[in-house]
A and B are shown apart, each in its own frame.
Chain A
Amino acid sequence: MYVGVDVGGTYTDAVLLRNGAVGATAKIPTRSNLLESVLEALDIVLKDVDTRDIKRIVFSTTMITNLIAGKKYDKVALLLIPGPGMNLKYYDFKTDVIILSGAIDYRGREIVPLNEREIEEALVSLAEKGYRKVGVVGKFSPRNSAHEKRVAEIIKEKYPDWHVELGFQAGPQLNFPRRAVTTFLTCATREPYNTFVNSVKEALAKRNITAEVFILKADAGTLPLENSVEQPVETIFSGPSASTLGVEALTPPDVTEVAVDVGGTTTDIALILDGQPLLSAKGARVDGQLTQVRTLAVKSVPVGGDSVLELAGEEIVFRAERLGPAYCMGGPAPTPTDALRVLGLTSLGDEGKAREAMENLGSPLGMSALETAEKVTDLVVSSITNEIKKMFKEWEQEPAYRIWELLHKKKVKPSIVVGVGGGAEGFIKRIAQELGCKPVTPPYAAVANAIGAAVARPTLQLSLRADTEQGYYIIREDGIQEKISRHSFNEQKALELAKERLLQKAAGYGLKVAPEEIEITYQEVFNMIRGWSTVGRLYDLTVQTPGGIALRVEMGGK
């Protein structure tokens, strides 16, 4: 049995999957205490279940989102080692920043050494300002983390109780400003997140639940609860991952589809291309700042079933605000749900009240209730379909750096539009029609997010970079650096090494992965020529355990 729990902004959903079918579902309003919400939903779906039969529980929570949005964390300072290049005045890291001397280049070579006295002075000034949490971030630190590590050592010596996060671990991709932001957020959220994880563990223990527990990430993979504290920021924005995986689990495999999650005041759109949820080319934007957090390419349109409709001159417009439920369900103002009710596209609420809402809205423009309802539906549908078309276009226009890639870019067209979430049903037919697709509203659409959480698989990534001229390789995520032989090292060896390291890491996480299951997601080899002869090779590899979903859910349920 698999259990999925998705704590959303408004509702907390849970499902129990038994033999590939939905066994129980729960939907409760999310409380201010997230743990309470999790447990309440969990208790509903686990009623009458022998906890020993549960194989896996996956949580998707807004924990980190709430922490960051509410700035409910201790203050964090940044010690940056940018070296020459971009002027840092263009960045606002929204905290105290001290620039340290030192520089590393693109191949991980030291250009400028650290100045230890300067570091000590920086620490004194941070201590005076009351900082106890510090992110240390160097430019090109994923290529050589020695400077960051040395600064951490000095901090440990002088201020052993400080909490330090290093850039090469928090932000291992090439992008220094994003690395700084990601490191800041990691440092800020780690401790409160840790507390949350511990209380989840306690609560589960109290219920005698011994199943493996995972946390869903923004990239639709999961991490064991235990290990998720290493990269807490990765669990941000897991809600859209949950619904997207839910759509994948509820529809046929290998299709190109659009998942449309119509909520109260926002609609989330995600793309699944040939059965693979589309990842954003760069990292997530968190609280207005760009990060290195891997995330699905999800777009939000500020309209939903409960959006408030009003007139702006001669135009009907919607406000991204919820005053209450739809008018037809006793709410105060006309909403898109009322329009759907008038058109017979939903059976929610009272038809008479819905007509009244549309009439009140449209009469100043001389429109009947039916005309108004049509107009409103068109408005909502076009704002969603325009965004969908834009997403496909953006995907097609993503830069490519190789001829092969550019020539093999294909135009993709979705074949189905899948509606999930409370308000989806009524709009999905129209959206699909507009895009020339088949509309699908699967059973359990309302808890697709929890289903998505339940079927999510753990994913682990590992990146290896070898520079045979300098005679070493590094594992980017761990900052491990080891010597290699300049002459006998080759691509095959690089790959074996990366796979071996990944398997070790997986074992450390308690995950069973077969070597043949490992996917290579990035592979780059360059000959380094100086003069007219080859002096070495550069290998860059990323391998990961297979992503995707653990199982498909029977359409009919049980």
Chain B
Amino acid sequence: MQDPGNKKTGLIFFPAFDWAISPTHPEREERLLYTRDQIFEEGIMDLPEISEYAPVLAKTHDIARTHFCVPRVEDRITEAHLIAAGAAILLAEEIISGRLKNGFALVRPPGHHSMRVVHGNRGFCNINNEAIMVDYLRRHHGIKRIAIVDTDVHHGDGTQDIFWHDPDVLFISFHQDGRTIYPGTGFADELGGPKAFARTINIPLPPGTTDESILYIVDNLILPILEDFKPEFIVNSAGQDNHFTDPLGSMKFTAQGYARLTEKLKPDLAVLEGGYAIETALPYVNMGIILALAGLDYSSVLEPDLQDLRESGEISGYIRRIVETHLKNWEKRDEAFAASQTIKGDFFQEKKRIYYDTEGISEYRSEKLRICDDCPGYLTIETSASRHFDSSGTALCISIPFTACSSCSAEAHDLYEKTKKTREYRYMYLQDKPQDIFLSYDFNTGKELRSEG
């Protein structure tokens, strides 16, 4: 996609100064206030290399193309979420259409902890802005191969979940080791579903990792893999909580490190994720990312309290080993992988328990992937969530992937129609991505809603 020419970097700055999860929550009105002050004072919006856009709202159908919101999309989001997702979509469209060189959706609320099924807010996220944008591009612009590189200190477990079985979306996340931070996942052996081996790559990092190691990973693992994968579009989930001053993370990144990373990665679109050092990190990291995207000199973007940050030799050794391990995994990516003990007949099954920290919800999921020789197979998810022991009933979600074969599509539709006649569930949804149709069925009222893109 990269065709610099004299095209501009598109910027949507949407700080949502009137939205917060709760008054004292890290995800609150004030979060991007000092970032605004910095980029306005620096005159960033006046630069000939930058073009500022006003965001637009995503449509609920755009959300339903990616997520199963229980019971409905409208119940799980606010306008702020539609704006953040809409901003990512708008910039992606401008980039794909060749009107922009690249872009940065500097928006909140974030989204990378939102999974396929949404019962509420988890990890400050309701819906996954990047995933919604990726599915939009695939639907409306016929883009097939997409890479998402998540540089937030937290594992992008939502994005991983959404693209787990998708061989066409490469998801790479580096983050602080899950044993030491939310959400407690993202270990090196989480490598994707049976039909998408090594399309998920997790690089857990020890607390205290510095710019040097991160850039080593970029140079020696991420860039070579991208080179092989040849994505048509690269997305960066640009969380900034790896910064050495972040109150949630324990890493040692700097604004310079983030800018350099951006310059190397050359994402088509960066989307802000976390980052909660709102005074000491965000104004500088955001500026570094913007300048790097625009191809401008960022060498003087320095935090006032910048110190000499070093990491232990132990960390550097570990980094070299994990890079080796993943390069081997990547080489084996096309060898058939199936943990035979978990495949019963034509289906691959997994059970998951997902905790929504923000709202105290426990979700139980049972997933079945249709194993098919001609396509990635359709996925069914049985999900039930309990909020303070108050269960919402079970929902059945059926998702037909973009590249589904006709027999998988037909089978999934059949399943939906047959299940309608039973009373096993409270709600049922069918996401037909190839046809861009979304159906939802309420078993209590017998009402079906249909939306089409």
Residues of A in contact with B (beta carbons under 8 Å apart)? 84-87, 89-90, 103, 105-107, 111-112, 139-140, 174-178, 282, 290, 397-404, 406-407, 524, 526-529, 531-534, 538
Docked CA distance A111–B38 (Å): 14
| Residue B309 is within 8 A (CB to CB) of chain A in the complex | no
* Of B34, B57, B301, the contact of A106 (CB 8 Å cutoff): B34
Say whether, besides A407-B79, A532-B24, A175 and B46 are in contact (CB < 8 Å).
yes
List of A residues within 8 angstroms of B57 by Cβ: 406
| Residue B53 is within 8 A (CB to CB) of chain A in the complex | yes
Q: A106-B41, A532-B24 are in contact. List 9 more A-B contacts (CB 8 A).
A: A85-B38, A175-B41, A176-B41, A177-B42, A401-B16, A403-B79, A406-B54, A407-B79, A527-B30
Docked CA distance A400–B80 (Å): 12
| Residue B13 is within 8 A (CB to CB) of chain A in the complex | yes
Q: Which of B37-59 contact A (CB under 8 A)?
A: 37-38, 40-44, 46-47, 52-55, 57
Q: In the complex, what's the smallest C-beta–C-beta distance from B341 to chain A, in angstroms?
A: 46
Closest chain B residue, CB of each to CB of A86: B42
Docked CA distance A174–B41 (Å): 5
| Residue B137 is within 8 A (CB to CB) of chain A in the complex | no
* A-B residue pair count with CB separations less than 8 angstroms: 113
Closest chain B residue, CB of each to CB of A290: B46
Docked CA distance A521–B393 (Å): 50
| Residue B138 is within 8 A (CB to CB) of chain A in the complex | no
Closest chain B residue, CB of each to CB of A91: B43
Closest chain A residue, CB of each to CB of B29: A526
Closest chain B residue, CB of each to CB of A89: B297
Docked CA distance A533–B44 (Å): 32
Indicate if the CB atoms of A90 and B42 lie closer than 8 Å. no
Docked CA distance A526–B279 (Å): 14
Q: In the complex, what's the smallest C-beta–C-beta distance from B32 to chain A, in angstroms?
A: 9
List of B residues within 8 angstroms of A89 by Cβ: 297
Max chain B CB contacts within 10 Å: which of A90, A401, A532, A534? A401
List of A residues within 8 angstroms of B313 by Cβ: none
List of A residues within 8 angstroms of B247 by Cβ: 531
Q: In the complex, what's the smallest C-beta–C-beta distance from B376 to chain A, in angstroms?
A: 37
| Residue B446 is within 8 A (CB to CB) of chain A in the complex | no
| Residue B187 is within 8 A (CB to CB) of chain A in the complex | no
Indicate if the CB atoms of B37 and A177 lie closer than 8 Å. no
Docked CA distance A282–B16 (Å): 21
**Subset of 7 A-B contacts with CB under 8 Å:** A86-B301, A87-B300, A90-B297, A401-B36, A403-B18, A403-B19, A406-B54
| Residue B317 is within 8 A (CB to CB) of chain A in the complex | no
Name B's interface SS: loop
| Residue B5 is within 8 A (CB to CB) of chain A in the complex | no
| Residue B83 is within 8 A (CB to CB) of chain A in the complex | yes
List of A residues within 8 angstroms of B327 by Cβ: none
Q: In the complex, what's the smallest C-beta–C-beta distance from B48 to chain A, in angstroms?
A: 9
Indicate if the CB atoms of B304 and A105 lie closer than 8 Å. yes
Closest chain A residue, CB of each to CB of B287: A85
Indicate if the CB atoms of B304 and A90 lie closer than 8 Å. no
Indicate if the CB atoms of A406 and B297 lie closer than 8 Å. no
Indicate if the CB atoms of A175 and B301 lie closer than 8 Å. no
Indicate if the CB atoms of B24 and A84 lie closer than 8 Å. no
* Of B23, B43, B296, B304, the contact of A178 (CB 8 Å cutoff): B43
List of B residues within 8 angstroms of A106 by Cβ: 34, 37-38, 41, 279, 283
Docked CA distance A140–B15 (Å): 20
List of B residues within 8 angstroms of A111 by Cβ: 304
Closest chain A residue, CB of each to CB of B37: A106
Docked CA distance A401–B34 (Å): 13
List of B residues within 8 angstroms of A529 by Cβ: 23-24, 28, 30
Closest chain B residue, CB of each to CB of A528: B30
List of A residues within 8 angstroms of B33 by Cβ: 526, 538
| Residue B337 is within 8 A (CB to CB) of chain A in the complex | no
* Of B19, B30, B40, B299, the contact of A87 (CB 8 Å cutoff): B299
* Of B15, B78, B79, the contact of A401 (CB 8 Å cutoff): B15
List of A residues within 8 angstroms of B30 by Cβ: 526-529
How does the 8 Å CB contact mask read for B50-80 relative to A, with 1 for contact and 0 for none?
Answer: 0011110100000000000000000000111
Docked CA distance A526–B78 (Å): 21
Say whether, besides A103-B304, A529-B30, A177 and B46 are in contact (CB < 8 Å).
yes
Q: In the complex, what's the smallest C-beta–C-beta distance from B36 to chain A, in angstroms?
A: 7
Docked CA distance A475–B338 (Å): 68
